[in-house]
Amino acid sequence: MTKLLNAQSNSAIFSRVVAAILGAYFLANLVAIAISFIVTGPMAGGVAIGMLSSYLVYGAAIIWVFAAATATQAWLGLASACLISGLLIIGLKWIEL
C-alpha cells in the first residue's frame, strides 16, 4: 500500500514539474505574443515589452502550478490560460488584417 501511495505521489510531482517547465513556458510565450500585438507604437517596443513581461508570467505560472490543490487542477488552469491567450492572439491578428 505504501509503494502505491509513493508511486502516485511521485507521478503527481513529476506531472507538476512538467507543467511548470513546459506549460508555463508555453503560456509565457503566448502572453508575450499577445502583449506585442496589444502595445501600440514601434514593433520593437511591443516585442521588448512582451518578452520582458513573459518572465513575470513564467514565474507566476510556476508558482501557481505548485500552489494548485492537484496536478489536474494545475494542468487545467494552464490549458485554460493558454486557450484564452491563443484566442486573444487570433482575435488581435484578425482585427489587424
pLDDT digits (tens, 9 = 90+) for 18-53: 999 999 999 999 999 999 999 988 888 989 999 999
Q: What is the pTM of this model?
A: 0.86
Residues shown for the chain: 97
pLDDT at 4: 55
**Cell digits of residue 74:** 494545475
Q: Could you read off the pLDDT of 60-77 as tens digits, one per residue?
A: 999 999 999 999 999 999
End-to-end CA distance of the chain: 59
Q: What does the alpha-carbon distance between residue 84 and residue 63 come to, in Å, rounded to a whole number?
A: 19
